[in-house]
Amino acid sequence: MKVLLFNGSPHQEGCTYTALREVADTLEKRGIETEILWIGRESVSGCQDCRGCRKQGHCVIDDGVAKLSARLDEFDGFVFGSPVYYASANGQLCSFMDRLFRSASGKMRMKPAAAVVSCRRGGASAAFDRINKYFTIAQMPVVSSRYWNQVHGSCPDDVRKDEEGMQTMRVLGENMAWLLQCIDKAAIPLPEQEKPMMTNFIRE
């Protein structure tokens, strides 16, 4: 089993990474492979709503989103990590997730997911909520911890001193490992899908 952890920060080994590393180390202790994908300095366009993905089955913009979409079957779970920018996930991660979920969320259905956010002081809950919205529209079980998955600090050393935040990350890793093992052991086929309805709240 393998979990992919996204780092949306422009800092490859900054605060967000420090939190993700703790989750990844815990997963690995439980025998789950991990990969941390740093997308924070890639050029990631926002979604153009060109609807090309409906025809092609993947995002037609040729960048990291399309490359990652082709690899989604390799992974059994996902963690999306972001620094908090103005009480939200950062633009980089939002653009990446907009396009990934718009074009390829079917490949992540029923795969456990979690959000991790890193901030200096405030806005963590709003950013955490923002990221969780992707999972709950894509039929992905959301993995939780003992607190909302956030760490505090301006540099990795600060984050390491945030003992409660780091513990929250370890508990998250343990909980994700447990859920992945349950899913693997149960080997139950995915639920059948109804044909989607899109009513835009319009009534006859």
Note the residues at the interface with ligand FMN (CB under 6 A): 9, 11, 14-16, 83-87, 118-123, 153-154
Neighbours of 102 (CB within 10 A): 16
Closer to ligand FMN at the Cβ: 8 or 77? 8
Closer to ligand FMN at the Cβ: 13 or 174? 13
Confirm if 128 and 150 have CB atoms less than 8 A apart.
yes
The minimum distance between CB 29 and ligand FMN, in angstroms, equals 23
The minimum distance between CB 120 and ligand FMN, in angstroms, equals 4
The minimum distance between CB 39 and ligand FMN, in angstroms, equals 12
Closer to ligand FMN at the Cβ: 14 or 138? 14
Residue 35 has which token pair?
Answer: 């990969």
CA-nearest of 176, 129, 178, 164 to 23 is 176
Closer to ligand FMN at the Cβ: 59 or 84? 84
| Cα angle for residues 19, 21, 22 (degrees, 5° grid) | 70
Residue 48 has which token pair?
Answer: 């153009």
Local structure of residue 142 (DSSP, 8 states): B
Give the residue nearest to ligand FMN (CB).
Answer: 14
Q: Which helix (H) or strand (E) holds 181?
A: helix 163-186
Closer to ligand FMN at the Cβ: 87 or 179? 87
Please give the Cα distance from 6 to 50 (Å, whole number).
25
The minimum distance between CB 180 and ligand FMN, in angstroms, equals 25
The minimum distance between CB 66 and ligand FMN, in angstroms, equals 25
